[in-house]
Structure 1
């Protein structure tokens, strides 16, 4: 459960319908019958469900780690070939939350552009769970498609501008046959798509390039949010999804019976030409991290983590951004 001290403000209410003062991260109803599963509620997205084991699990967002949580209806069919071989086929209908930052500044008068699109989002995944070298192994393919509809003229609510989002990608968790003493495992994710800002956590949170006419400046403006958009005077001309490619890779080692470590790298790389004319565009974002977890007893452990994040901008927009983060954690 999450407890927020502020969920609304006067100008943009509600600022996020999924961030109430009291919010449950995962709430769903599930029915399991033989090899079938039906899950309805708020859960992890059906696509990319393999996450880097960072202390703050969304920390890899917009740096290669795709997907978050959404309200969805999901059907799963399990094909069990043997005790160690399982194929899971999943299909879900979901409700995207506004692609988040795309409509910044519009939320007060256009809160559900995903509903206006007329169709729910669709997610699919095929995951094969098996064993190699007597250790768990995963190979998975995934993808999604969804859309939103905005108005060209918000003063009259006339005209329609639609934009779509899709992804396709792979996930792998593969034990390595050498240095068996340390149980090495190589994991990672690779994806490609468009319109991946917001809760899809891709494209460095730049869902689309919006072209609109700024009446006060008498010129066209290109942006990835509508924060500076005047609904009474400005007019949307076009919304073009930003394409991006990215992923992450990680090596896990069990250094001692009580000490585990993870070393990883990730990248989120939007297509620069899709961001042409956008002031302050984030052209690429990368992460490097090392995480160590020591378990004093099976029920109690302490961790230390270092993460370095680098954001690339055009020279005309200033220097690249660099963040170094250190974190300690306790787990049980």
Structure 2
């Protein structure tokens, strides 16, 4: 389970609901989700405090009497008159016990499939970052340097290889003084750096001792895509598995601006139906159909974060949008340079277009050709 999946269960916990064991285990070991849980609790307290200020009717005074036997009083309250069903009360207690156990568990359930390990590191001074590492691109790494435990520390993690559900991590560390050149450290050629190679299985906790600094704790989980993380809690803003997103795009032809769709899409235009394509029309440049599915006559375009790039008709084309386009690194673009809309004015638009499967694994647009 990842943080975005666990978010709804954080809210459910604050509402007094029982949540699935996998969610409880994740929340119990994830610093980001625990921080979100504290934020929810603080928000609830503040809302109740504000509501109390607006209370018009006088709140009756209460006389609190300490019972002679607290245990007896608790049992009488629990099994005498209750405002919730006894079975629900018992389930609530069981859920709280299960969550408490989850907070102390060292090894939790985690999926063993995926191509990306989302690694979290907690240092002596708290959480460092959420670091996604791909098993398909071992040139990636996560670096950080700064003050930790009164030392200036450079810290770098790289995924070396994978063996089943575990990965081999190369952890580089070195202390430095202000003004030191760390360029060689970021290229694995710093003689002052200490290298530690460890096998790590997502779902476990791994402790790594760094001399003169302290102990670092690594946790992680498998993901089926490279997440796009923002904010202090590392929120994943990646599109869905079958989603294409477009936000206020501009169109470049041979590196020159030929279309600006801000007047049509001032927010986010999203499509997650595999049998439909995103249909974009720019007067003077023609029709563009964008799809995650291969289309007859279409060009395979590369996707880099918020850019869709392709070559067609002897020109280079690029859609630049204000958000991540999709989870993958390519889409198919069917460009019809001479297309003119028959039923509407010659003005730019973005809509969705139905596709029909014409062959195994191949689709064609319908309705506008």
Same fold, judged at TM 0.5 (above): no
Structure index of larger Rg: 2
- The structure that is strand-richer by fraction is 1
- The structure that is helix-richer by fraction is 2
Instruction: Report the TM-score, using the length of structure 1 for normalisation.
Output: 0.21
